[in-house]
Amino acid sequence: MKIAFLGLGAIGAPMAAHLVGRFDLTVWNRTASKAAEFSATHGGAVAATPCLAVTDAPVVITCFPTSREVEALLDGAEGVLAGMQSGATLVDCTSGDPASSRRIATRLAELGLGFVDAPVSGGVVGALSGTLTVMCGGNEATYVRVLPVLQAFGKKIVHVGPVGAGHALKAVNNALLAVHIWSTAEGLAALVKAGVKPTVALDVINASSGRSNSSEHLIPLRVVSRAFPRTFRLALLEKDIAIAADFLREQRVPSLIIQQAAELFRLARLELGEAADHVEAVKIVERWGDVVISD
Ligand code: NDP
């Protein structure tokens, strides 16, 4: 079965690599050299346009920064809709926004095309090992049809509700990630100033009730080590928290902490720039507290 994968970014490329050999893969990327490099390294055909990539593919996967890029690629002579055949399904692995997903799904349905929002969690490491969590929004029958494709790169794959539910859940998850990163950094900054080593503090927290993925993995491996690898852009996390904040507002849930996190990560991105990694937000906490979270 032919699968088209559009968007070979930091997470898209390792996800697409798992499809090679299992399916007849065709890739497209805005910067064509990255698609050529992907094909030379992993295999798969390269298409010159989104339209050519998706032609004859029952399943088309997109993985772009935001829903805006997904919507923009639908139209035009070289766009996705010019190539998709009736009965095919667009699986959007972008961490997008629920309202855009519902709009896209409605347009596609009018053309006899299916849509599933299927954002992923687990980072580049999870993408490389094919163990991503995939949260899917869409109708049950469409979800079941695309499940074998998602199993190539996902380990925990869950149908969470109608179109948009996957994107809503992903946004809430990432808002929690942001709150954990920032609040753990604040607590550690104070402890370091009081003379407690961060490795000692984290050792205790990680055996106690305040632990999280941030305290167990991100802060020890990326902050205390001062490695700060760039795997998931701060700008993308900022986008996710903003989606979560909007979603909570729409649902009329008071959301002081998530709104605050959205603002803090917006300030961090303004300070640190578009290329900064999400965990580098800790550098702002350090700057404000005049302290470095390191032994
Ligand atoms: P990157 O910034 O690394 O890659 C973005 C991809 O989108 C690239 O292929 C880029 O093409 C393409 N792109 C950007 N703008 C356009 C445009 N206007 N038209 C066409 N293509 C465009 O992002 P990631 O791969 O890190 O993230 C992709 C999605 O996955 C995001 O929604 C992110 O939030 C989510 N995600 C990322 C994770 C991570 O750890 N990185 C973890 C979980 C989810 P080009 O090569 O030409 O720049």
Give the model confidence (pLDDT) of 7-43 as tens digits: 999 999 999 999 999 999 999 999 999 999 999 999 9
pLDDT score for 66? 97
Q: Are residues 41 and 135 in the same domain?
A: yes
Q: What is the CATH number of the domain that holds 18?
A: 3.40.50.720
Q: How confident is the model at residue 67 (pLDDT cuts 50, 70, 90)?
A: very high
- Whether residue 295 lies inside any domain: the answer is no
What pLDDT is attached to residue 130?
98
Q: What is the pLDDT of residue 275?
A: 97
Per-residue confidence (pLDDT) for residue 24, from 0 to 100 = 98
176, 115: one domain: no
Tokens, residue 121: 């969690």
* Amino acid 50: pLDDT: 98
| Residue 156 is a catalytic residue | no
Determine what percent of the chain falls in helix, strand and coil, rounding each to the nearest 5.
55, 15, 30
Distance 10 CA to ligand 1 centre (A): 7
- DSSP-assigned beta bridge partners for residue 90: 60, 115
Atom of ligand 1 nearest to the CA of 68: 18
Tell me if 294 is assigned to some domain. Answer: no
Shortest-distance atom of ligand 1 to CA 7: 9
Number of domains in the chain: 2
E strand or H helix that includes residue 161 = strand 154-161
Coil, helix or strand for 76? coil
CA of 236 to the centre of ligand 1 (A): 9
Do both 92 and 180 map to the same domain? no
- Which residue has a Cα nearest atom 39 of ligand 1? 232
**Residue at which a domain ends, from 123, 144, 161:** 161
Mean pLDDT of 64-91: 98
Query: 100-157, pLDDT tens digit by residue?
Result: 999 999 999 999 999 999 999 999 999 999 999 999 999 999 999 999 999 999 999 9
Taking the centre of ligand 1 as the mean of its atom positions, its distance from the CA of residue 64, in whole angstroms, is 4
Q: Same structural domain for residues 177 and 64?
A: no
**pLDDT value, residue 293:** 98
Same domain? 262 vs 126: no
DSSP class of residue 231? S
35 shares a domain with 140 = yes
Confidence of residue 5 (pLDDT cuts 50, 70, 90): very high
Last residue of some domain: 114, 129, 161?
161
> Ligand 1: which residue has its CA nearest to atom 31?
65
- Please choose from 63, 91, 124, 153 the residue to mutate so as to test ligand 1's pocket, defined by most ligand atoms within 8 A of CB: 63
Q: How far apart are CA 51 and CA 66, in angstroms?
A: 20
Considering the candidates 170, 193, 197, 239, report the single residue annotated as catalytic: 170
* Domain assignment of residue 67, given as a range: 2-161
- pLDDT given for residue 126 in this prediction: 97
pLDDT at 241: 98
Q: What is the CATH number of the domain that holds 245?
A: 1.10.1040.10
The last residue of one of the domains, among 161, 180, 204, is 161
Query: Quick check: is 188 in a domain?
Result: yes
Residue 12's pLDDT is what? 98
Q: Please choose, from the candidates 46, 31, 1, 37, the residue with its C-alpha nearest in 3D space to the C-alpha of residue 19.
A: 1
Position 114 scores a pLDDT of: 98
Q: How confident is the model at residue 214 (pLDDT cuts 50, 70, 90)?
A: very high
Percentage of the chain lying above the pLDDT 90 cut: 100
| Ligand 1 shell residues, CB under 6 Å | 7-12, 29-31, 34, 63-65, 69, 94-95, 120-121, 123-124, 231-233, 236
Domain assignment of residue 285, yes or no: yes
Same domain, 23 and 53: yes
One domain, residues 139 and 86: yes
Q: Is 95 in the same domain as 175? A: no
Ligand 1 binding pocket mutation candidate from 80, 173, 232 (most atoms within 8 A of CB)? 232
Say if residue 95 is in the same domain as residue 148. Answer: yes
Is there a contact between 148 and 58 (Cβ–Cβ < 8 Å)?
no
Segment (H or E) for 4: strand 2-6
Q: Is residue 238 part of a domain?
A: yes
Q: What is the mean pLDDT of the chain?
A: 98
Q: Are residues 223 and 82 in the same domain?
A: no
Residue 246, domain member (yes or no): yes
Model pLDDT for residues 220-258, shown as the tens digit of each residue: 999 999 999 999 999 999 999 999 999 999 999 999 999
* pLDDT > 70 in the chain, percent: 100
Whether residues 150 and 179 fall in one domain: no
Q: Give the whole-angstrom CA distance, residue 5 versus residue 24.
A: 11
Would you say 60 and 4 are in contact if contact means Cβ atoms under 8 Å apart?
Answer: yes
